[in-house]
Chain A
Amino acid sequence: MIQAEKLRKTFDKGRVVAVDEVSFTAQDGQITGLLGPNGAGKTTTLRMLYSLLAPEAGSIRIDGVDPLAEPLAIKRKIGVVPDSRGLYDRLTARENIRYYGRLHGLDRAVVESRIDALAAVLDMGEFIDRKTDGFSQGQRVKVAIARALIHDPGTILLDEPTNGLDVMTTRSLREFLLQLKAEGRCVVLSTHIMQEVAALCDRIVIIAAGRIAAEGTAQELLERSGADSLEDAFVRLIGSDEGLLA
């Protein structure tokens, strides 16, 4: 479970406020969506969650642990698929994943069996032993996800996971995320795509201009805004249609 309380982060010596007063809770066994236009502060929020950035104010607890105080403990608990997939082109998919498994301190045997299991679930058998140079976006995302899950984390953070994926890959990715949810994990994903949150998320946190614009289930958001569709609700809640076309 993730509890974020009044997070604030500025850049460029306080001139740019990226995130301000962001609070939300993500439950285990649920998928929580951070929805917002580009540049709203989703990635910054996630980076604070996985302890790569320190918030200037506010507090974070992941399963009761403070990432600021125990960054290494947090990193063992969470699996992260960052915005940039960042694979090593000269290594095979398996070697990429193995590297992270070993960095997590797992035994060689454990790593290998986990890779085989993940490769089966994510349907990676075809390219698992190929060098990642020349991989498609879908293949890269799969490697990045397998890499993030190698240590069987209870909490999974995904930054724009469906970015650049085709319809079929997006569908199978959604199914996989639902499966993670069914296993009782806490899944948080950021996206600017409406259909995604509608199809996947139990709770939606709308972020605009670094602040929480609204929070709740899809149904609650519809009722609160009085709109017919989630898209209209989104536009009304953030007060503009900025970024939707991007």
Chain B
Amino acid sequence: MIIVFLKEILDNFRDRRVVINTLLLSPLLGPVLFAVMMSFMSKQVSERMEKPLELPVVGAEHAPNLVGWLERQGVIIQPPPDDPEQAVRDEEFEAVLRIGPDFADAWNAGRPAPVEIIADRSLRYTGTTISRVNGYLATYNAQIGNLRLMLRGVHPDLTRPIDSQILDLSTPTSRGGQVLAFLPYFILIAVFVGSMHMAIDTTAGERERKSLEPLLITPVPRWQIMAGKLGATAFFALASLALSLVAFVVSMGMLPTAEMGVKLNLDMAVAARAFVLVAPAALLAAALLIILAAFAKSFREAQSYVGLIVLVPMVPSLWLMIDPTKAQYWMTWVPLLNQNVMIVELVRGSEIAWSWYAATILSTSLLALLLAGIAATLYNRPRLIFTSG
């Protein structure tokens, strides 16, 4: 068993493609992608928030006071395009403010004076601009409204029967957890992708090279041969996992988290716990992939099966992203879902009961061992040895 294990490790370390794929690309892809994306996003958001708002105004002459107030707020008023609707549709401007000719009449009569923000909400990048324009108008609205009430001797607070405020209990760490919500997905992908090549090479690859038959003529029980292959695959999965976690810790450490108002709870101690939590999933991935690949006749066929299986860890991650529900105890008994839940809880910095750890590790290990058991008996089937005759 050990001999098979060592040979497979040596054999695959000789293959530069495998080493690059497993030990470099797959663990690094997630963190790098993630880090670049995050820093880009935070930069974009802050740039949009801080950059002076440029706003074309149609009919500025109908409301000189409003326009003047906007200018004092730092808004750069621009001359309007000839056809504002078309200009927005053509994405020349993110938003155009239109003040109707009856603005002054309505204003003077004390009726709500109409203004329009022309924008296309389906364009996601315009969201910040629209809400900024809206925000300025709401502030102006409130100021004028209060002044009008005071002129009539009414205290403005009378219009606010309720003073509601949100007491935000989120901490920088827990907000950081939100940022790291898709960390589990990247980690599980690293585990699956990391073990993928090894699983195929040791089973379907062995068959394609026609070295399976001589191998099975050696006086080694077949389950031991399979166990060696499984061990080597799991080893690569674990290596991939460990590297991926380290890469995440390093790359997240380089993010400008303070500016984003978050603190990422992702140091080596957290990574170590995540490793322990995900380690059984590495065996699970190895066994699952080996079972599939062992049925394939060739490397290529195996790759097409296995490519689909790599989507499996995505399912719980996506589900949690689309429908973010409260982490519950039962979830820790569902392999792969539990890794997702636990990593999210871990990076939120919340206290996690030992029973949750135990359930996660136990349930995943049990399923992994079950699959490993199935994998170990695969070579007892003659059909799997002679597919070509």
Contact = CB atoms under 8 A, between A and B. Distances in A.
B214 A91 contact: no
B215 A86 contact: yes
A52 interface: yes
Interface string B202-219: 000000011111111111
Nearest to B221: A72
B14 to A, nearest CB: 4
A80 B211 contact: no
A84 B212 CA distance: 9
Contact of A104 (B7, B10, B218, B386): B218
Contact of A90 (B15, B213, B216): B15
Contacts, number: 73
Q: Number of contact residues on B: which range applies?
A: 20 to 34
Given A84-B210, A144-B214, A75 B219 contact: yes
Interface residues of A, number: 31
A53 B385 CA distance: 10
B219 A105 contact: yes
Contact of A147 (B3, B214, B216): B214
B221 to A, nearest CB: 7
B153 to A, nearest CB: 92
Interface in B196-250: 209-221
Interface centre among A75, A144, A148 (most CB of B within 10 A): A75
Given A99-B3, A103-B4, A147-B214, A88 B11 contact: yes
Interface in A71-97: 72-73, 75-76, 78, 80, 82, 84-91, 95
Nearest to B208: A86
A168 B35 CA distance: 63
B217 A91 contact: no
Interface in A120-171: 131, 144, 147-148
A51 B211 CA distance: 16
B219 A86 contact: no
Contacts of A52: 213, 216-217, 382, 385
A50 interface: yes
A100 B7 CA distance: 10
A236 interface: no
B3 A82 contact: no
B14 A82 contact: no
A86 B218 contact: no
Contacts of A105: 219
A155 to B, nearest CB: 12
A73 B221 CA distance: 11
A102 interface: yes
Contacts of A87: 209, 211
10 contacts: A52-B385, A78-B217, A82-B217, A84-B214, A86-B211, A86-B213, A88-B211, A102-B7, A103-B3, A144-B214
Interface of B: 3-4, 7, 10-12, 14-15, 209-221, 382, 385-386
3 closest A-B pairs by CB: A86-B211, A84-B210, A75-B219
